[in-house]
Structure 1
Amino acid sequence: MKRFVLTLLACVAMLPAWAGEVTFTEVRYAGDDGGPAVGPTQYRNPVVAGFYPDPSAIRVGDDFYLVTSTFGYFPGLPIFHSRDLVSWRQIGNAIDRPGQIDYGNDELTRGLFAASISYHNGTFYIANTCFYCGGGNFIVTGKDPAGPWSDPVWLKFEGIDPSLFFDDDGTAWMVNNGIPEGKMRYDGHRAIWLQRFDAATKTMVGPRKVLVDGGADPASKPEHVEGPHLFKHDGYYYLTAAEGGTGEQHAQMVWRSRKVDGPYEPWSGNPSLTQRDLDPARPDPVTSTGHAQFVELKDGSWWAVFLATRPYRGNQYNLGRETFLLPVTWRDGWPVILPRGERVPVVLERPALPRTPQPIPTSGPIEWSERFAAEKLPPQWMTIHPPKQTWFGTGRDGLKLTPSSTPLGGHGSGGQPAYLAHRLQHHRATLTATLAPYQPEPGELAGLAVLQSERYHYVVGVEGGKEGTAIALYRRAGKDEAVSGQRIARIPLPSSQQPVSLRFRLDGPRLDVFYAVEPGQWKPVATGLDASILSNDIAGGFIGATFGPYAFRP
């Protein structure tokens, strides 16, 4: 079977573009958001830049593993490995088979919410919620964090953000966000629940119990307590969870107890981490800090991974929520990530661990080129929902896409756009794609997209029409616009017999678009466009912008 698939892919790669496919010979990325210099003993935040929210990290021996959310993208739940907590490399995805989970046809901001990773007796566990997928909460397991991971085992409890904790005696406990007991007292009133988990049968057992009702200070009516984790230190069980929603009011709270099932006492100095008290007009802000998980190193020091955002103007950011890292200080038996009123440092001293740099960094300046010559896509490339059929292939000639009749934003009708996505990781970035010679039929469009959501995106491509072949630029900026967007530029091409390169250049709220038919001879398609439509502040939702090859045929 494997030989047949490889042979099929090889045959697909040999087909000419006129056989109904579009060939992309290269995608290039270069991004650099500047900032202070990083010394040899220092690191830069975020440690994983771009749309990598809700981080969960663990240590197993000398190795660290990290998982983040993916919402409506597939593959889901990327797994990263590191030896120094700073330099990360993606080694796989926990949800990487289309049959593992049915995402449905919902919006991109649905799907796979905050995941948590844990380890016990040679087995890795990931607990997660598939929001609006119909199944709810589930767990997958694997012996190797790079995969394969099991099919989901669906768990019968309400809520989101499950996290699995193994006690010293091997007993397993699940904590999660859920609806409180009795009547909700206010909008956003939530609770943190606890229940036993039987690792042998992968079932929930025993009664469910509320550990936290509302938040650290119930009288203040805290909203959306979520993302809980349990850990043990010096005879105490510590419960940590975020409050205030995942925006600028985000804050990380801590409780502790002598017994795993409580009662839990909130720290009088809460929150352990927040930026919500700082001047909104401060330069180069880091905001929305929270959803943290604590990790103990072999030397007894503690660190925390957490999500945060980097706005370029007001609360506008195109990158989504990113993964940050800070040391933890213990104060009178309580873990403090950052003292109240202090700003998240961008550059600080590294953990006392041997450095393990990666071929492509996940922070700071990043530059790479992808020619898609391998037998399969690298693990960081994604589609909108799992593919229901084969419409792309890689190989000697590059990436081949079969155009879809479903445009970007049209997957709610049941189809799937022919779009391969990579996360945008900088506000100042240059994105380039090169198409092999391509003769589009009238109405066909193939090129490069940069997408925040179904309703907010740009596409520049080679388009066929009655007037001939042209470079066309489309923008969609709202639910009331056409699904395919509005064409805002068209430049005739004298010939379709040469490769065409397409480029987006982003600089915070500004977007410039170019094309080239001769290497290095870039010509403008449009300049000074509004890139802020790619921000969550305008587009809404929870995800970050992605970009990549796209092909449409009506």
Structure 2
Amino acid sequence: MKHVRFRLTAWQKRGVYIVFTALCVHMNAFSQKDGNEKNEPLFTQFTYKGNDPIYKDNPLQPGEIYSPILQGCYPDPSITRKGNDYYLVNSSFSMVPGVPIFHSNDLVNWKQLGHVLDRPSQLKVEKAGISAGIYAPDIKYNPYNSTFYMITTQIAGGIGNMVVKTQDPAKGWSDPIKLKFDGIDPSLFFDDNGKAYLVHNDAPPTGKALYNGHRVIKLWEYDLKKDEVIAGTDKIIVDGGIDITQKPIWIEGPHLYKRKGRYFLMCAEGGTGGWHSEVVFVSDKPTGPFIPAPNNPILTQRYFQKDRKDKVDWAGHADLVEGPNGKYYGVFLAVRPNEKGRVNTGRETFLLPVDWSGEFPQFENGLIPLKPTIKMPAGVNNQAGQNGFLPNGNFTFTDKFTASKPDFRWIGVRGSRENFIATTQNGLKIKPFPVTIKAAEPTSTLFYRQQHATFEATVSLKYIPQSEKDLAGMVCYQKESFNYVFGITKKGNDDYLVLERTEGGKSTIIASAKVDVSGAVQLNVTAKGDSYTFNYSIDGQRFTNLGGTVSGDILSTDVAGGFTGALIGLYATSANDIVIP
């Protein structure tokens, strides 16, 4: 084949260059428009700062720590011990990854190891309600086979009650083993003769329910080799609660313990709201009969004035562990309502010492209004916020998003973080999904728990929306039908910042403003109890409010329903439905 060479004049070369350049610009514009490959928002320098007056008014004295020990939505705590290592887990509902797990050597200084359910094969919550998913995990160490067990109810994906195992909680957990029994809140107990039992909350036998909220505690023998309950061994060991003639509601969250040759069953009673409490029973055999303690409840906040200062409420759903020097401690959930009685921070993990010098355990100061500080185990140095330990009280959390993996405190809802985020040398990129925050499915939103009633959260955002379907910014989120969206979008050829409130699925635009997005925009949300403000800055120094002061009521479970606390999210969508007027 004969090759022909062409010689181009200078003018011809210039023409080719112009055509090539124009083609590149056109291709780049097409790329930006199609698939958002070049239109992913870049988030940098996230800062969360808590500023609750209770911590200013109650500075720590020597030998004290603050309780709650885990602030924000960390409910239903369970704890276990192996030697000098303590492990604590919490409910995670439809948050992903599932079941945060924490480690301590002294019950004071805690680090998050990660999450128990951190693989898609373990967690099937893509279509679950925000308060479905993972309920009341129980963690136990079995010294007879050197194995840790985490057992829970996954109300999603057709899984139900399940257990996962490991010999080292820091190195990951097995895939779920489905368990064949009904009810919720399972907990394992390993007797010192090597036998295992399982207790859980269940409905009364068919046709035997006496009132709304009537539940029972059931016990099964458990086969450790097959990891299954032994058919035919189930037995009701508590019917209704400590006194069924009083129609007690929602006996749940059971845990079995053995001490001095006797078996103690501790349960939550009264529901997770204002009548919540912790009660205890005793038996000479693990199968019962169980007799309620005469001094029940052993923990509650239900008897005190509604308007008391620094109110803590809803205390219950507890677990016990022997601490340093043989002293017992209990972890439990409770809430700290704001001035309007809202519980935006959700159910948090509290700690109290437990007096077990008598026959029954008793939470020390668990029957008086709870205080913000408690005495910590003797000889322990409080290192909260230092040396990698989690902070406590008023603290500042800053993330520049330059680490190879996100901090464990960042979570998704219904979907994995890794499906939509990427960390770069410049910060965090979020790939926008074609769904909005109002969808009951995975969204492209990275969440951080609200941990104080008074706080501010600020992030720097570089983003140029290409159409009115593009939006990126911040959200304050209780669930898909109750939230605030504060983000940058487009109207015609102009860029706008918009604030939208969604309550019960009905959305209202509170305010919008034309904004210059040629550089980074700082977005800020500030809360003081029930009062929230949304602010922005173009120059990084002067902030302008958008929409005035709005109520945080929709971020509380007493308005939105469910069991979760409020979340602060970094959000992007390619299916924006907010229409600027």
TM-score range (shorter-chain normalised) is: over 0.9
2:77 maps to a residue whose letter is P
> Is the 8 Å Cα contact of residues 192 and 211 (structure 1) preserved in structure 2?
yes
Equivalent residue number for residue 484 of structure 2: 458
Identity %: 37
> Is the 8 Å Cα contact of residues 148 and 167 (structure 2) preserved in structure 1?
yes
Q: CA deviation at 1:101?
A: 2.4
Q: CA deviation at 1:329?
A: 1.2
Equivalent residue number for residue 9 of structure 2: none
Q: Distance in 2 between matches of 1:355 and 1:384?
A: 36
> Is the 8 Å Cα contact of residues 103 and 111 (structure 2) preserved in structure 1?
yes
Q: CA deviation at 1:388?
A: 9.9
Q: Distance in 2 between matches of 1:347 and 1:542?
A: 25
Equivalent residue number for residue 373 of structure 2: 347
Range with bigger deviation, 431-440 or 144-153: 431-440
Q: Distance in 2 between matches of 1:141 and 1:131?
A: 19
Q: Distance in 1 between matches of 2:38 and 2:514?
A: 23
> Is the 8 Å Cα contact of residues 177 and 227 (structure 1) preserved in structure 2?
yes
Equivalent residue number for residue 409 of structure 1: 438
Structure 1 residues 502 and 388 mapped into 2: Cα distance closer, same or farther (>3 Å)? closer
DSSP-derived class of the 2:226 partner: coil
Q: CA deviation at 1:279?
A: 1.2
Q: Distance in 1 between matches of 2:379 and 2:223?
A: 35
Equivalent residue number for residue 42 of structure 2: 23
Range with bigger deviation, 393-402 or 242-251: 393-402
Match for 1:512 among 520, 530, 533?
A: 533
Moved over 6 A (4+): none
Equivalent residue number for residue 563 of structure 2: 542
Structure 1 residues 50 and 338 mapped into 2: Cα distance closer, same or farther (>3 Å)? same
Q: CA deviation at 1:32?
A: 2.2
Equivalent residue number for residue 381 of structure 1: 410
Unmatched segments (≥5 aa) in structure 1: 1-15
Query: 2:136 aligned with 1:117, yes or no?
Result: no
TM-score under structure 2 length normalisation: 0.88
Query: 2:200 aligned with 1:180, yes or no?
Result: no
Give matches, 1:214-233, under 5 Å: 214-233=240-259
> Is the 8 Å Cα contact of residues 178 and 192 (structure 1) preserved in structure 2?
yes
> Is the 8 Å Cα contact of residues 98 and 118 (structure 2) preserved in structure 1?
yes
Q: CA deviation at 1:526?
A: 2.4
Equivalent residue number for residue 395 of structure 1: 424
Give matches, 1:288-303, under 5 Å: 288-303=314-329
Equivalent residue number for residue 63 of structure 1: 85
1:19 maps to a residue whose letter is K
Query: 2:222 aligned with 1:197, yes or no?
Result: yes
Choose 1 or 2 for highest CA Rg: 2
Per-residue CA deviation, residues 214-265 of structure 1 (Å, 9 max, x unaligned), is: 0011111111100000111111111000011000100100001111111111
Range with bigger deviation, 78-87 or 152-161: 78-87
Q: Distance in 2 between matches of 1:136 and 1:437?
A: 42
> Is the 8 Å Cα contact of residues 440 and 469 (structure 1) preserved in structure 2?
no
> Is the 8 Å Cα contact of residues 142 and 150 (structure 1) preserved in structure 2?
yes
Query: 2:348 aligned with 1:319, yes or no?
Result: no
Query: 2:58 aligned with 1:33, yes or no?
Result: no
Match for 2:397 among 368, 372, 377?
A: 368
Q: CA deviation at 1:25?
A: 1.6
Q: CA deviation at 1:331?
A: 5.6
DSSP-derived class of the 1:146 partner: helix
Q: Distance in 1 between matches of 2:508 and 2:46?
A: 25
Range with bigger deviation, 48-57 or 323-332: 323-332
Match for 1:167 among 158, 177, 191?
A: 191
Question: How many positions carry a matched residue from both structures?
Answer: 531
Equivalent residue number for residue 98 of structure 1: 120
> Is the 8 Å Cα contact of residues 283 and 290 (structure 2) preserved in structure 1?
yes
Query: 2:513 aligned with 1:491, yes or no?
Result: yes
> Is the 8 Å Cα contact of residues 36 and 431 (structure 2) preserved in structure 1?
no
1:499 maps to a residue whose letter is A
Q: CA deviation at 1:467?
A: 4.9
> Is the 8 Å Cα contact of residues 39 and 464 (structure 2) preserved in structure 1?
no
Q: Distance in 2 between matches of 1:438 and 1:94?
A: 38
Q: CA deviation at 1:416?
A: 2.2
> Is the 8 Å Cα contact of residues 49 and 362 (structure 1) preserved in structure 2?
no
Structure 1 residues 86 and 389 mapped into 2: Cα distance closer, same or farther (>3 Å)? closer
Equivalent residue number for residue 161 of structure 2: 137
> Is the 8 Å Cα contact of residues 557 and 565 (structure 2) preserved in structure 1?
yes
Q: CA deviation at 1:403?
A: 1.1
Per-residue CA deviation, residues 35-90 of structure 1 (Å, 9 max, x unaligned), is: 21111310111111100000001121111110000101100000001122122211
> Is the 8 Å Cα contact of residues 39 and 465 (structure 2) preserved in structure 1?
no
Q: Distance in 2 between matches of 1:353 and 1:230?
A: 30
Structure 1 residues 477 and 335 mapped into 2: Cα distance closer, same or farther (>3 Å)? same
Q: Distance in 1 between matches of 2:113 and 2:75?
A: 17
Range with bigger deviation, 83-92 or 504-513: 83-92
Equivalent residue number for residue 146 of structure 1: 170
Q: Distance in 1 between matches of 2:131 and 2:236?
A: 28
Structure 1 residues 30 and 389 mapped into 2: Cα distance closer, same or farther (>3 Å)? closer
> Is the 8 Å Cα contact of residues 106 and 323 (structure 2) preserved in structure 1?
no
Q: CA deviation at 1:463?
A: 1.0
Q: Distance in 2 between matches of 1:100 and 1:287?
A: 33
Equivalent residue number for residue 236 of structure 1: 262
Structure 1 residues 304 and 388 mapped into 2: Cα distance closer, same or farther (>3 Å)? closer
Structure 1 residues 404 and 391 mapped into 2: Cα distance closer, same or farther (>3 Å)? same
Q: Distance in 1 between matches of 2:49 and 2:317?
A: 29
Per-residue CA deviation, residues 251-302 of structure 1 (Å, 9 max, x unaligned), is: 1000011111111110011000001111112111100000000111242211
> Is the 8 Å Cα contact of residues 405 and 423 (structure 2) preserved in structure 1?
yes
Q: Distance in 1 between matches of 2:314 and 2:274?
A: 4
> Is the 8 Å Cα contact of residues 218 and 236 (structure 2) preserved in structure 1?
yes
Per-residue CA deviation, residues 92-136 of structure 1 (Å, 9 max, x unaligned), is: 101111222222412101110100100123221100001243211
DSSP-derived class of the 2:554 partner: helix
Q: Distance in 2 between matches of 1:339 and 1:405?
A: 51
Per-residue CA deviation, residues 353-390 of structure 1 (Å, 9 max, x unaligned), is: 53252435342012011122122222221111134983
Equivalent residue number for residue 525 of structure 1: 546
DSSP-derived class of the 2:559 partner: helix
Q: CA deviation at 1:441?
A: 2.0
DSSP-derived class of the 1:255 partner: strand
Q: Distance in 1 between matches of 2:352 and 2:99?
A: 22
1:32 maps to a residue whose letter is N
Q: CA deviation at 1:208?
A: 0.6
2:70 maps to a residue whose letter is V
Q: Distance in 1 between matches of 2:71 and 2:563?
A: 15
DSSP-derived class of the 1:369 partner: strand
Structure 1 residues 388 and 78 mapped into 2: Cα distance closer, same or farther (>3 Å)? closer
1:28 maps to a residue whose letter is T
2:229 maps to a residue whose letter is M
DSSP-derived class of the 1:177 partner: strand
> Is the 8 Å Cα contact of residues 29 and 430 (structure 1) preserved in structure 2?
yes
Per-residue CA deviation, residues 457-495 of structure 1 (Å, 9 max, x unaligned), is: 11111111215101111111113x1xxx322111101x3
Unmatched segments (≥5 aa) in structure 2: 1-34, 576-581
DSSP-derived class of the 2:157 partner: coil
Match for 2:455 among 423, 426, 429?
A: 429
Q: CA deviation at 1:443?
A: 2.8
Q: CA deviation at 1:340?
A: 7.1
Q: CA deviation at 1:437?
A: 4.3
Q: Distance in 2 between matches of 1:440 and 1:510?
A: 33
Equivalent residue number for residue 5 of structure 1: none
Q: Distance in 2 between matches of 1:160 and 1:249?
A: 20
